[in-house]
Amino acid sequence: METRAGDPGAFARFDLNRVPSPAFVVDAAAIRRNLTILKDVRDRGGIKMLAALKAFSMWSLGPTVSAYLDGVCASGLYEARLGREEYTGLDEKGEVATYCAGYKAADLPEICVLSDHIIFNSPGQHARFRPILDAQRAQGMSFDVGLRINPLHAEGEVAKYDPCQPNSRLGFPIDQLLPEHLEGVDGIHFHTLCEQDFVPLGRTWASVEPSLKRFFPQLKWLNFGGGHHITRADYQRDELVAFLQQVRRETGLDVYLEPGEAVALDAGILVGEILDVIDNGMPVAIVDISATCHMPDVIEAPYRPAMLGEQPGGDLVRLGGPSCLAGDIIGDYALPVPAEPGRRIAFLDQAHYSMVKTNTFNGVPLPSIWLWDSETDELQEIRQFSYEDFKSRLS
């Protein structure tokens, strides 16, 4: 996959030696910039905008996010709880929309307490859990029920990240949707994009609208999910706003978007340090950043993260992590510094997904987390991780 971001922004002037290594550094000013753009689209489009916690869960910024957006979307009980505790504000006006491909009955009562929308992956799952939903409503809980559909319209650039891939597990196939499937359902949800602009969303809506049109009178809302790179410089935001206005006008329904990456796009770096250099047909540098532990999408996607200050045309150095996994290779780079132990490097656009996917395989330490405000130059340590964080995950 080609990364669609990687603008260094204010990080071009950040001294990498100001933080320990490895470390995530998030620019609060860049987060505010992204949120300002999202709020503008929300306000002009007349919709509701939820931040996807699955992409960016730095809850110390929860009050900042909730000041701009309408709430969060969660992927299960833990994210729903985090959203209600840290993002919706003390007055709880912010919304929590929870979707899970497969709920557990034991989790649903608490999810009902935490959530404004509970979105099911299939009508069968909704039907099985109706008694739990009814019991919670009888106790005074108020929430909407949604159904995720599979539009059967593929727009993904990589099949394994496309919710509309053949035999997908995500969403109920739209060609099987019957009126009885929407009994007790307040809204329709679909999520089919990944780091994409407006045009694929327009095509997807053109594909599903004819099949959904007859159900609009019995619904309250439509949720177009995430994957919208709204804050990217070349995104067609005016076209999106016009589209959202049109959908609201023609359907009479409320409309939701759930950006995740767009909240933190180009807002964070991962700082690392060269530990050793060997020659094995080319220079090979071992760094304290691990692809498998700190940037797993490098292996899973796969993709090549952009490096701060990389020198195009320079001699290439292969960068690999400290773990014992042979495939713990970040990539080949023309470094902005000499390939020597002790030198610092940084990878761009690491605030989203990398931070939420870190793990401690091999006992590799987790990067610390820092918040920098490029407008004031204030630098704040948010979290350091220790051996106890590694040990407490085991038994």
Q: Is the pTM of this model over 0.85?
A: yes
**Residue 125 in tokens:** 């799952």
Q: How many CB atoms lie within 10 A of CB 240?
A: 21
Which residues are 187's β-sheet partners?
146, 221
**DSSP assigned state of 350:** -
pLDDT digits (tens, 9 = 90+) for 34-83: 999 999 999 999 999 999 999 999 999 999 999 999 999 999 999 999 99
Domain annotation for the chain: domains and CATH numbers: 9-25+267-391 (2.40.37.10), 46-264 (3.20.20.10)
**pLDDT computed for residue 6 by the predictor:** 75
**pLDDT computed for residue 34 by the predictor:** 98
Which regions in the chain score pLDDT beneath 50? 90
How far apart (Å, rounded) are the C-alpha atoms in residues 354 and 337?
Answer: 24
**pLDDT computed for residue 5 by the predictor:** 67
**H or E stretch at 381:** strand 378-383
pLDDT digits (tens, 9 = 90+) for 191-203: 999 999 999 999 9
**pLDDT computed for residue 220 by the predictor:** 98
Evaluated on CA atoms 100, 106, 112, 114, the torsion sign reads: negative
How far apart (Å, rounded) are the C-alpha atoms in residues 311 and 308?
Answer: 9
**pLDDT computed for residue 57 by the predictor:** 97
**pLDDT computed for residue 90 by the predictor:** 43
